[in-house]
């Protein structure tokens, strides 16, 4: 008999936190000095670092290259990939020079600081093994590169003087399975506040009751100081006050208030409505500290009867996994780059993100709050048993609880987060000791946040069924193993399953291989994978196999596809072949350009907009008369294909097999130059949409298209410009690989360039690169002054492409 499991959560969630004048925040972003390599005495205040490089934070020292096959070459048997013996792996961590020591130094003033106040030094992430010094004194360390952490530096701050900060980081070899980045890659801040204050990450807001008519808001906040009371008001998105309460009800160091909100706007993926709570802390009528907290009201529930519900509505996770790197920017966080990713995914119909396999940035969570994405926040890729020699296994015993506590307390108040993950494919899945570790971590998550469930991405499904590991999970997450879903559902007590990692289909944008067959682990001489979306890894499957489970099994509550975007490192199936230095798994490539598979997912997930996409391209000189299958990805159930005006018949989606259920396929088409045209029909047989692609002529000129024409003059905002090579009539040239040169002038600068080719060894920060499959993307960065930015792209034998971008204050 199956035991029915219900996990109910009603939340009033905190998002972005902004503080008033009672506390001051100094963001340490500019004028850092950096050098790579060990430097004796660099922590001392009198050390001379004038000849070091000047950098801005966030910073990734390794992304500038060069690529080298010998960097972090690992001889390893990858158990998760079903490998039988160890072998040399090239490019597993991106072939970028991230191994070694890096030093950072800066100075800062704290005008508001006086003895008796509190000063906190906060890091959002530093890769890795951080040692931190203030005014020559060591204040602490943190080994995990993805962890948020802070130190109380009140006793080290010197009033009215320049204070000195030094950070030593060290990345060992054999410490990661993907490109981890290097350096202080997320923001650093100093917060100064009164001695009576809200404790760091100490506020947690929930709603024990949510309905369309009323929400009960409960605010618990930890404080320090005596004779205090709390005043709280809640404002809607227009700034109107919708609730207020005062309290001096104190339990140890915690204050507790409850505020009703009438007719609340519920946060959802379709309507990510955010309120603001203003918390004021008084001591004897004197204002001591203020927090302004943006949040959303919503409820979540997990049950065997309905799966996952958001605000009482059954919702399936249409999610993707994302690594933390941003392609040509490396690991350095950039909010406009993150927002571009989310805009692309939103258009695809994606509604959920899994941070794989790391703690997410605060910038990413803020954006998911604003844009309406559900979020699975992950903690670790390793526990006590190693995957790599110098991985988190070295730190698990001492640091796991501390790292989980900081993850939860720092982020638990984001409305987007609906689930925690304590691990991914950990070798500890085997045996009773692994069950105990799973429960140990899950208990920490529950203690810190009793409102959300916990999952683990489990790939050893037989083992976790036998040991009980899978049975203790709040949400049993299966990585791949679609053939074991039914058995796991029967054996696990929860009554539902999550596809915590799915597909791992591989492809290279604009590359197609013949004959077209479904196969796994295929290797080609050019180091590319076919974009017919039928190639996958020996542990995984094609997307359609997961679609069937999502559509036919109510107890499968959704999926997180591996991956939304290509990422640096892990170049499967070419991890034993050089040159290959980034993944092929992405629905979009490393430059953020959609691959064909994007439209396959869009045809299912985006239920509002039309999808009609044809593949492959139609430039096949030398293949005249040869079989060249044509696929169409569309949300319509049938369509007719024409080659140079001749009908090749109507195809209808059917349940004959998994592919015909989700794709329209004309497998016997013979190539002839000219025009491919497809006409789609609605359910009544009426022609409602059409699309065509043409055989392009000789390359002629460049077309430039910007994701935004207006950006902010803050020195950090980015414009992503897609450069396409076209013929004289403007037809896209899909096989062009011309060398292109880039020039930026005016109120901005060239930041990076990427073509999406996983086997390219060209450097991202040089203003030149070959096009790949006819395209590349140029990143233009604003200055701090408003004005016009001019981008010019040239190529031999091509008419120059130009575009103007406005930078505004």
pLDDT digits (tens, 9 = 90+) for 406-436: 999 999 999 999 999 999 999 999 999 999 9
pLDDT band at 16 (very low <50, low <70, confident <90, very high): very low
The answer to whether the beta carbons of residues 507 and 535 sit under 8 Å apart is yes
For the stretch 454-480, pLDDT in tens is 999 999 999 999 999 999 999 999 999
If residue 537 lies in a helix (H) or strand (E), which one and from where to where?
Answer: none
The answer to whether the beta carbons of residues 220 and 254 sit under 8 Å apart is yes
For the stretch 642-666, pLDDT in tens is 999 999 999 999 999 999 999 999 9
Q: What pLDDT, on a 0 to 100 scale, did the predictor assign at position 7?
A: 39
Neighbours of 170 (CB within 10 A): 18
Q: Residue 25, CB half-sphere, CA atoms under 13 Å: how many?
A: 15
Rounded CA separation 195/82 (Å): 56
Is the bond leading into 515 cis (omega within 30 degrees of zero)? yes
Rounded CA separation 375/421 (Å): 10
Q: What pLDDT, on a 0 to 100 scale, did the predictor assign at position 12?
A: 40
User: Residue 471: exposed, middle, or buried by beta-carbon count in 10 A (0-12, 13-18, 19+)?
Assistant: middle
For the stretch 211-234, pLDDT in tens is 999 999 999 999 999 999 999 999
The answer to whether the beta carbons of residues 258 and 235 sit under 8 Å apart is no
Cβ contacts of residue 765 below 8 Å, gap of 6+? 63, 64, 65, 328, 751, 752
Q: What burial letters (b/e) apply to 551-574, b meaning 16+ CB within 10 Å?
A: eeeebbbbbbbbbbbbbbbbbbbb
Of 720, 762, 726, nearest in space to 741 by CA: 762
Q: What is the mean pLDDT of residues 233-251?
A: 94
pLDDT band at 385 (very low <50, low <70, confident <90, very high): very high
Token match 């992503």: residue?
A: 720
List the structure tokens of 3: 């035991």
Cβ contacts of residue 640 below 8 Å, gap of 6+? 647, 648, 649, 650, 651, 678, 679, 681
- Residue 17 scores a pLDDT above 50: no
The answer to whether the beta carbons of residues 433 and 426 sit under 8 Å apart is no
- Residue 504 scores a pLDDT above 70: yes
71 to 34, 183, 462: CA distances (angstroms) = 21, 17, 36
Q: What pLDDT, on a 0 to 100 scale, did the predictor assign at position 208?
A: 85
Q: What pLDDT, on a 0 to 100 scale, did the predictor assign at position 14?
A: 39
545 to 82, 412, 482: CA distances (angstroms) = 20, 34, 7
Q: What pLDDT, on a 0 to 100 scale, did the predictor assign at position 15?
A: 44
**What is the number of helices (H) and of strands (E) in the chain?**
10, 49
Of 103, 109, 101, nearest in space to 135 by CA: 109
- Residue 66 scores a pLDDT above 90: yes
pLDDT band at 494 (very low <50, low <70, confident <90, very high): very high
Neighbours of 420 (CB within 10 A): 29
Strands 87-89 vs 630-634: parallel, antiparallel or unpaired: unpaired
- Residue 755 scores a pLDDT above 80: yes
The answer to whether the beta carbons of residues 565 and 574 sit under 8 Å apart is no
The answer to whether the beta carbons of residues 553 and 66 sit under 8 Å apart is no
Of 272, 298, 607, nearest in space to 451 by CA: 298
Q: What is the mean pLDDT of residues 47-51?
A: 96
**Alpha carbon 493 to chain centroid, angstroms:** 31
- Residue 374 scores a pLDDT above 70: yes
List the structure tokens of 240: 């109107």
Rounded CA separation 457/452 (Å): 16
Q: Is 501 marked active-site?
A: yes
The answer to whether the beta carbons of residues 29 and 297 sit under 8 Å apart is no
- Residue 9 scores a pLDDT above 50: no
Token match 């392609």: residue?
A: 327
Of 591, 718, 706, nearest in space to 336 by CA: 718
- Residue 10 scores a pLDDT above 60: no
Q: What pLDDT, on a 0 to 100 scale, did the predictor assign at position 4?
A: 36
Rounded CA separation 197/114 (Å): 15
Determine what percent of the chain is predicted with pLDDT higher than 70. Answer: 97
Q: What burial letters (b/e) apply to 631-650, b meaning 16+ CB within 10 Å?
A: bbbbbbebbbbbbeeeebee
pLDDT band at 77 (very low <50, low <70, confident <90, very high): confident
For the stretch 313-365, pLDDT in tens is 999 999 999 999 999 999 999 999 999 999 999 999 999 999 999 999 999 99
Of 339, 418, 429, 416, nearest in space to 382 by CA: 429
E strands along 383-496, which residues?
Answer: 417-424, 454-458, 475-479
Of 245, 247, 277, 249, nearest in space to 16 by CA: 277
- Residue 678 scores a pLDDT above 80: yes
The answer to whether the beta carbons of residues 16 and 294 sit under 8 Å apart is yes
**Alpha carbon 30 to chain centroid, angstroms:** 25
551 to 165, 499, 546, 757: CA distances (angstroms) = 55, 13, 9, 34
From the candidates 22, 501, 570, 762, give the one annotated as an active-site residue: 501
Determine what percent of the chain is predicted with pLDDT higher than 90. Answer: 93
Q: What pLDDT, on a 0 to 100 scale, did the predictor assign at position 21?
A: 53
pLDDT band at 20 (very low <50, low <70, confident <90, very high): very low
Q: What is the mean pLDDT of residues 183-204?
A: 97
If residue 561 lies in a helix (H) or strand (E), which one and from where to where?
Answer: strand 556-562
From the candidates 425, 448, 559, 762, give the one annotated as an active-site residue: 425
Q: Is 292 marked active-site?
A: no
- Residue 90 scores a pLDDT above 80: yes
Q: Which domains occur in the chain, in start order?
A: 6-15+198-300 (2.60.40.10), 23-62+98-193 (2.60.120.260), 316-605 (3.20.20.80), 620-694 (2.60.40.10), 699-808 (2.60.40.10)
Of 532, 534, 533, 514, nearest in space to 524 by CA: 514
pLDDT band at 112 (very low <50, low <70, confident <90, very high): confident
Q: What pLDDT, on a 0 to 100 scale, did the predictor assign at position 303?
A: 98
E strands along 323-433, which residues?
Answer: 352-355, 374-378, 417-424
The answer to whether the beta carbons of residues 743 and 767 sit under 8 Å apart is yes
Neighbours of 741 (CB within 10 A): 14
pLDDT band at 5 (very low <50, low <70, confident <90, very high): very low
Q: CA gyration radius for the chain? A: 27
Q: Residue 671, CB half-sphere, CA atoms under 13 Å: how many?
A: 19
Residue positions counted in the chain = 809
Neighbours of 85 (CB within 10 A): 5
User: Residue 186: exposed, middle, or buried by beta-carbon count in 10 A (0-12, 13-18, 19+)?
Assistant: buried
- Minimum mean pLDDT among 3-17, 96-110, 316-330, 743-757: which range? 3-17
If residue 677 lies in a helix (H) or strand (E), which one and from where to where?
Answer: strand 675-681
Token match 């008796």: residue?
A: 116
Rounded CA separation 14/451 (Å): 13
Rounded CA separation 8/451 (Å): 8
Rounded CA separation 702/699 (Å): 9
- Residue 84 scores a pLDDT above 90: no
Q: What is the mean pLDDT of residues 136-143?
A: 98
Rounded CA separation 223/240 (Å): 27
Rounded CA separation 351/560 (Å): 10
Neighbours of 284 (CB within 10 A): 10
Annotate 168-217 with DSSP letters as a single string. EEEE-SS--SS----B--S-EEEEEE-SSEEEEEEEEEEEEEE-SSEEEE
User: Residue 482: exposed, middle, or buried by beta-carbon count in 10 A (0-12, 13-18, 19+)?
Assistant: middle
Q: What burial letters (b/e) apply to 21-37, b meaning 16+ CB within 10 Å?
A: ebbbebebbeebbbbbe
Q: What pLDDT, on a 0 to 100 scale, did the predictor assign at position 806?
A: 98
Q: What pLDDT, on a 0 to 100 scale, did the predictor assign at position 280?
A: 97
List the structure tokens of 109: 């003033």
pLDDT band at 19 (very low <50, low <70, confident <90, very high): very low
Rounded CA separation 665/723 (Å): 30
Rounded CA separation 562/659 (Å): 19
Cβ contacts of residue 319 below 8 Å, gap of 6+? 350, 351, 352, 353, 354, 374, 376, 558, 559, 560, 561
Q: What is the mean pLDDT of residues 384-396?
A: 97
- Residue 160 scores a pLDDT above 90: no
């Amino acid at each position: 008999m199956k035991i029915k499991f219900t996990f109910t959560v009603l939340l009033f969630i905190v998002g972005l936190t902004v503080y008033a004048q009672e506390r001051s925040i100094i963001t340490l972003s500019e004028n850092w000095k950096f050098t790579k390599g060990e430097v004796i005495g660099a922590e001392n205040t009198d050390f001379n670092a004038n000849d070091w490089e000047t950098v801005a934070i966030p910073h990734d020292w390794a992304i500038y290259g060069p690529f080298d096959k010998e960097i972090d070459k690992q001889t390893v048997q990858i158990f998760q990939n079903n490998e039988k013996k160890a072998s040399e792996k090239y490019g597993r961590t991106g072939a970028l020079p991230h191994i070694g020591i890096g030093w950072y130094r800066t100075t800062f003033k704290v005008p508001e600081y006086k003895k008796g106040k509190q000063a906190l030094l906060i890091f959002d992430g530093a890769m890795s093994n951080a040692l931190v010094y203030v005014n020559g004194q060591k204040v602490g360390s943190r080994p995990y590169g993805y962890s948020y952490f802070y130190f109380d530096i009140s006793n080290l701050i010197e009033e009215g003087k320049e204070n000195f900060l030094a950070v030593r980081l060290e990345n060992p070899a054999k410490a990661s399975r993907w490109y981890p980045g290097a350096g202080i890659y997320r923001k650093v801040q100093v917060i100064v506040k009164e001695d009576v204050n809200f404790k760091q990450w100490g506020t947690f807001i929930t709603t024990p009751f949510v309905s369309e008519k009323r929400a009960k808001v409960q605010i618990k906040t930890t404080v320090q100081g005596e004779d205090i009371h709390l005043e709280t008001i809640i404002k809607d998105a227009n700034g109107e006050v919708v609730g207020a309460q005062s309290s001096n009800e104190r339990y140890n160091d915690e204050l507790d208030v409850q505020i009703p909100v009438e007719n609340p706007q519920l946060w959802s993926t379709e309507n990510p409505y955010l309120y603001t709570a203003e918390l004021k802390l008084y001591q004897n009528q004197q204002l001591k500290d203020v927090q302004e907290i943006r949040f959303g009201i919503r409820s979540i529930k997990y049950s065997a009867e309905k799966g996952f519900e958001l605000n009482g509505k059954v919702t399936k996770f249409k999610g993707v996994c994302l690594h933390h790197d941003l392609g040509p920017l490396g690991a350095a966080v950039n909010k406009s780059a993150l927002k571009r990713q989310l805009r692309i995914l939103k258009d695809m119909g994606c509604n959920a993100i899994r941070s794989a396999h790391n703690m997410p940035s605060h910038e990413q969570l803020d954006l998911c709050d604003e844009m309406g994405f559900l979020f699975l926040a992950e903690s670790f890729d390793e526990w006590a048993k190693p995957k790599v020699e110098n991985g988190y296994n070295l730190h698990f015993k001492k640091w796991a609880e501390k790292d989980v506590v900081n993850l939860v307390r720092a982020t638990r108040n984001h409305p987007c987060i609906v689930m925690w993950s304590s691990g991914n494919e950990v070798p500890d899945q085997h045996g009773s000791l692994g069950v105990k570790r799973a429960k140990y971590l899950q208990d920490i998550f529950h203690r810190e946040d009793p409102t959300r469930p916990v999952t683990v991405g489990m790939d050893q499904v037989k083992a976790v069924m036998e040991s009980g590991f899978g049975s203790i999970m709040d949400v049993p997450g299966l990585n791949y193993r679609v053939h074991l879903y039914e058995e796991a559902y029967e054996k696990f007590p929860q009554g539902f399953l999550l596809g915590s990692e799915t597909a791992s289909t591989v492809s290279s944008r604009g590359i197609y291989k013949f004959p077209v067959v479904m196969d796994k682990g295929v290797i080609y001489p050019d180091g590319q994978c076919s974009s017919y979306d039928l190639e996958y890894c020996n542990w995984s499957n094609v997307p359609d196999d997961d679609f069937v489970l999502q559509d036919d099994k109510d107890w499968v509550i959704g999926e997180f596809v591996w991956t939304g975007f290509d990422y640096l490192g892990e170049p499967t199936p070419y991890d034993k072949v050089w040159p290959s230095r980034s993944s092929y798994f992405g629905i979009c490539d490393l430059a953020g350009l959609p691959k064909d598979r994007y439209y396959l997912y869009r045809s299912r997930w985006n239920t509002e907009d039309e999808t009609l996409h044809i593949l492959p391209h139609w430039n096949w000189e030398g293949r005249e008369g040869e079989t060249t299958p044509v696929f169409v990805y569309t949300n319509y159930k049938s369509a007719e294909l024409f080659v140079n005006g001749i009908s090749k018949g109507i195809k209808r989606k059917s349940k004959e097999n998994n592919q015909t259920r989700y794709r329209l396929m004309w497998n016997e088409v013979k190539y002839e130059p000219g025009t491919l045209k497809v006409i789609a029909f609605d359910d009544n047989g009426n022609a409602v949409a059409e699309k065509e692609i043409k055989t392009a002529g000789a390359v002629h000129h460049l077309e430039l298209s910007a994701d935004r024409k207006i950006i902010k003059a803050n020195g950090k905002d980015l414009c992503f410009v897609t450069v396409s090579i076209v013929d004289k009539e403007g037809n896209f040239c899909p096989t062009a690989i011309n060398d292109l040169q880039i020039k930026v002038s005016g109120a901005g600068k060239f930041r990076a360039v990427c073509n999406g080719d996983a086997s390219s060894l060209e450097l991202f920060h040089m203003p030149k690169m070959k096009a790949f499959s006819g395209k590349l993307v140029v990143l233009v960065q604003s200055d701090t002054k408003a004005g016009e930015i001019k981008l010019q792209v040239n190529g031999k034998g091509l008419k120059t492409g130009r575009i103007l971008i406005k930078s505004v204050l």
